[in-house]
Structure 1
Amino acid sequence: MTHITRRAFALSALGATAVLAGCGNGIGNTNASTIDARVDATLANLFSEYPNMRTLEAKSTGMLVMPLITEAGLGIGGAFGRGALRINDVTVDYYSATRASAGLQIGGQQYSHVLFFMTEEALADFRRSPGWAAGADIEYAFPDRGETLKAETTTALDPVIAVVFGQAGLRLGATIEGTKYTRIIP
């Protein structure tokens, strides 16, 4: 078993972030209007491809929209993206999403995701947190053979529902578990 020090891990994650910066995902762009335009385009795409997500939106108390998450890894990897928290169709805050990982992995991918906050308490906890980490308590909704996104009746009772879509790249799986969301000022 190889022992990886925290310093080596941090340097590797920094290197992965540098690789992600070259992927055209807007890492260097902190302009609020650019983020809002990407969020608008992402939501338009989500609702045109998966119209039943409008029902989930109507039931939610807020949505965190991450238009583009870029993920890359070769043993050690990372992911990064920027997005906006919307309440009643109004942007109230901007967030970055970051993740570092280690293990058997190779490749890269990009995808979009939306967190639907289904309770006022879940939304308040997210907004109060200095850095909120997505964990195993999130319910996922994935495209079913690329046709529809389904959120079951029982799923709609979960406090946070993550919808992951628009995957592109050469990497298996797309999950947001372990992703840290941090409020940013664009």
Structure 2
Amino acid sequence: MTVNRRILLGGIGASLALAACGNGVGGNGAQTIDARVDTTRDFLFSRYPGTQELSRQAFGVLYMPLVTEAGFGIGGAYGRGALRINDVTVDYYSTTRATIGFQIGAQQYAHALFFMTEGALGDFRRGSGWAAGADVRYATPEQGASLGKETTEIEPVIALVFGQSGLIAGATLAGVKYTRIIP
């Protein structure tokens, strides 16, 4: 029974921490998301110049400017962003992540998904929800400046996580889902 109580308290604590991080969910809709995406894109390009070329090669880029994550045993994350094709917003998406395992803390970060093939972008847009899976290559910010042609020719989707603040530690199993939204 003690384990169940810990999991319950961990879930409640994670929810409270997530709510306290100021994600801005329910804000001014599309204008807020677009402004955040512009700022995130500009930061990404100025900080990691290789990502600008990566963006030009991509068929589309999903920018998630602010994802808030918290966990204590059970955790979760949520954020909203925009899919851009030729740097024009075509759809808005939310990302939801659930985790379970040994973890404690809270953090905020941004990430971008670069769709390097027309098929990968089409699969993403046609689906009612899309879960990141084995066909996604995750890159670190240090790689963001040097993601080259060899990488982009063999990877259908490249995910770059950057701009982390806060601290979360642990080892977890996680699932991520992206869902089209109307802000």
After TM superposition, is the score higher than 0.5?
Answer: yes
CA contact (8 A) 2:110 2:162 kept: yes
Q: Which residue of 2 aligns with 1:139?
A: 137
Alignment of 1:183 with 2:180, yes or no, is: yes
Q: In the TM superposition, what are the counterparts of 1:35-184 in structure 2 within 5 Å?
A: 35-144=33-142, 149-157=145-153, 158-172=155-169, 178-184=175-181
The structure-2 alpha-carbon separation of the partners of 1:51 and 1:28, relative to structure 1 and needing over 3 Å to count, comes to same
How many positions carry a matched residue from both structures? 177
Distance 1:128 1:167 in 2: 30
Assess if the C-alpha contact under 8 Å between 2:10 and 2:72 holds in 1.
Answer: no
CA distance in 2, matches of 1:14, 1:181: 23
Shift in Å, 1:15: 6.5
**Structure 1 residue runs of 4+, over 6 Å off?**
none
What's the CA shift for 1:30?
A: 5.4
1:13–1:100 contact (8 Å) kept in structure 2:
no
Distance (whole Å) between structure 2 residues aligned to residue 13 and residue 27 of structure 1: 20
Conserved? CA contact 1:131–1:182, under 8 Å? yes
Deviation at 1:19, TM superposition (A): 3.3
For normalisation by structure 1, the TM-score amounts to: 0.85
Percentage of matched positions with identical amino acids: 62
Per-residue CA distance 1:3-58 (angstroms, 9 max, x = gap): 86xxx88x976763453222111123251000000000000000010111111011
Q: Which has the higher strand share?
A: 2
Which amino acid letter does the alignment assign opposite residue 41 of structure 1?
Answer: T
When residues 56 and 20 of structure 1 are mapped into structure 2, their CA distance, relative to the original with a 3 A threshold, is same
**Partner deviation per Cα, 1:134-158 (whole Å, 9 max, x = no partner):** 11321112123xx963324332121
Cα distance in 2 between the residues matched to 1:56 and 1:36: 20
Which of the pair is proportionally richer in helix? 2
Task: Provide the aligned C-alpha RMSD in A.
Answer: 2.5
Q: Deviations over 1:125-184 (max 9, x none)?
A: 00001010011321112123xx963324332121000011111111248x9x62100000
Summarize deviations over 1:49-77 as a string: whole Å, max 9, x none: 01111110110000000001111000010
> Which 5+ residue runs of structure 1 have no aligned equivalent?
none
